[in-house]
Structure 1
Amino acid sequence: MFVNKGGKQRTSRAGWSGEGEVAIDPDYPTRLNFYQKAPLLEISIEEFEQFALDRLQVLKAIEAAQLRGRDEAEIFKQVEAVCRERMCLSASAGSMAIRHDERRKDHISHFILRLAYCRTEDLRSWFLRYECALFRHRLMAVDAAEKQRFIASLNLGHKQLSKKEKDLMRTELMASCAHIPNFNFENESFLEVNFEDALDLVQHRRVYLRNGYAYVPAMEQMALVIGEFKRRLAASLEMYAKALPRMDEDERLMPVLLNISRQNTGKEYTTDAVAGKVTADDVEPLSALFPLCMSHLHNGLRSEGHMKHGGRMQFGLFLKGIGLPLDEAIVYWRRAFHKSTDDEFQKKYVYNIRHNYGMEGKRADYTPYSCARIITSNQPGAGDHHGCPFRHFSPDNLRRELLVSGVDEADVQEMLQLVTGGHYQVACTRLFEVTQLARARQQGKAAANVASAETITHPNHYFEQAFNLMSPGKQQNGMEIESGANASQHAIGKRWRGSN
């Protein structure tokens, strides 16, 4: 796909000299791209990395805007601003040379991130979600003529209903469009597509279904195009993931791709993400700084003396991430599973604990789960404690859990509204603000003098921010923590960061 060179190089293009003789660039006729063909060109390693990081900044800006629950107009405005700075795509009236370079960068950067983010299911899911959001933004931003020229080039095979066919289904079609303000049936055309190609519209009951076909008003065509983009990109990511092992021998490319992929949905936390050693005795007092998902797991384990596999994985890796080493983890879990005999504990649980620390099996050094993974994977069932309370609890159970956590009624209602809108991480961030941040402000911590917290994307991110808020600063004998939850936390803080 790419050939790495030490220096930068501009590629020449047949049919275009760079001086504007040809009105439409044959390589990139529009600003929109389905990225069906990988770029076959030479590129310097510096340009390779810069292109990828610029596009990544755009995707992360989209993520941040969506996580904060901003409305459509505000999200569009913010994305447009970061696109102008990092991934500008000029209109057709601009300079041919500038347009070509911008679209070349867009093309190349997409495929670099596709390589970097195909490695795991979590990475693929994140990349797919925000690439689709970026494509949707661009589809909304271009004018109607450019949009139609691009859609026509895709040859999607959507059949347009004749006037006779449209009149025969008049009642049903009008009923399916009742949600559209000021809808004019006579002036609207309709497309006949396989219902699988319009699943988003079907899910929201915005189309008429008959005999396996969906009848889509032309004004909803954008949803069909976005759906097709998503399907093709998802299939391509799976294909790239299977081919990736063949690239592992490239000593120049793989370190760059790995570095890029580490900047994903949530920081990859390891045992040294927060310095110092945590003991089995420290877990209880430190639990005052846990996010709601981990607090729920901690309380469930403490009350039941048992936990199913999903909970052990989620909580165990979280504890590993805050600094609990293997030997202390075994001590902690042995105490927690007090109903098991020593023999049962050794046979049923020790191997799994050691496996999480890379000491058994393929010896992979597993990292704690991000919010994205917890929210989208392995939905909890009866008797389970894992998952995201904001995503998986019923409204009544979530309300009860928040009230028990000390959240007042007004803030509980605000969080429930965020959850109703699907803004689970924003709700978690709000919980952080009304508990950890508020407590730090009451205690006069300088670090708490911010308007709002950074959006939570990882349980260990929540814990680390909470711990840093309660740490008054470096002292001669080490770092102290003053959460007020337990006096022993002063000693924990000294061990925690005293070596820094």
Structure 2
Amino acid sequence: MAFYLTPPSGNIALHKLTEYTVTRLQFLRRVMETNGHQLSLLDVVKEGAMCSDCLIEGSIKDKISHFMLRMTCAYDKSMTEFFITTEAILFDFRFSCMNFEELCRLFKSLDVHLLRVKRMKSDDFPLLAYSNEIVSNLNAFQNIKDQFGKWKHFVHKYLEGDNDFFCLPFQHVLHLVAKRHVDLHHGVASISIGKLRDVVAGLYRKMLVEYMTQASKFLHTDDTRIRRLIHSIKALYRMNCCFDNTPSFRKFLPAVSVDDVVVSMPPCMSHLHRTLRTQHRLCHQSRIQYSLFLKEAGMPVREALVFWRAEYSQPRASIGNGGHLWTGNEARYTYSIRHLYGLEGSRINYRGHSCHSLQNSPRCVSEQGGCPFATFDRDNLKKILDIEGIYETDEILEHAAKGRYSAACAHVFQWKTRKMDQKQCLHEKTYQREDGLTVLESELKSCNNACECSDKYENVLAAITSPTIAEDHRGETQGVMPAEQRTVKFDTPVQYFDEFQRLLNSMQDICSNKTVI
């Protein structure tokens, strides 16, 4: 991969230049259509590299297609926004998929530019080689390198999930300052090394914006062949790529937040999570099942390595759960996780298990995975329901006993969402003291009866009181629901998770009441 700081030089046939530019435009259109979703991006990038050499990251043809399309898009505001947005998404995705060697090569490619910046004050070096904005961003990379000595030390800490910090002037990370993800002291931002991906992607985007601005002001050509090419690319863009350039919500699940979202997981996955936290190990198939679930829930490969390293670095709590310590087996575990993400071996973009496959998969005695409604006996199933906070279990147990496993899971979903209306919400009120100072006071109130949130809760909960239930393994409909109530459907554990997360967010929005006195 490259930062695309220096355009390639040489001769190329016009038809090849046209082909590469058109191919990249069509490729970026597909990137935009993914809305930044990691699994979809992996498919798009993999298919693109197989279809054309100009989409193989870091190749000379990749650079040709990038710079030619950059120049073409610079003449049109809409195309500029499209190019910056899609290239930033692509860069961020490629960065998230890199291993140690690839990250080291990426950062070392900056060294020649950092050296040029140091020499810019000398008389034998042109002062206009870089704009002030580009120099500022390159200096940010130089600051990072100076704090750790060598790129490989920095990359190692990042991939190991180290808790170390690095510092940059706050103006380089305004997007993190706005989200309060950094500590500020005298204009210097102290940034967790785990935020490296956000920092690098932000710096890349700023440099891309600057280069596009320069191109729109200074790049002009009288070559009729290039002008015809630019005109045809613009026409192709207007026909196929004119849509909202703002990608929709992108799921992101960091390793440190998994415990916070367990409540949104279906019983099959929450059981695996609790087992992992208790035993610090999962059997092979269970580990694959949970890894793929976390992948589809929004956990990038780097966060997955941090998550599994933290658990497998601890001694296992009992005999028989399998798995060696991470230390001494890091290469094997790392390869296994990257393989599940389609980054090693056959590079297949594996998807998570469906409910149907979990319900019908054979399960040995030592495995913890699978569908608990299909594999657990009544007593163990009741224990899981107790942990989930569900005490009226007769109907759920009856569904499980009769082989209606999806119906049982749907009722768990219902019970967990019904508990939301008992949740306390934060109510804020502001008032002015006698000295003129505005004071914000907060208090928790039950949303059951004590506030106007109650009616809003009921409206939201009414929409999910009877989720649509998938067919069971015999193809029989598991309960007939009125059509107007069939608003929720999940055929995979991650669909259950996403829907529950959506409802939690809706509840939080409802409870953001503010009363001004």
Shorter-normalised TM range: 0.3 to 0.5
TM-score, normalised on structure 1? 0.39
TM-score, normalised on structure 2? 0.38
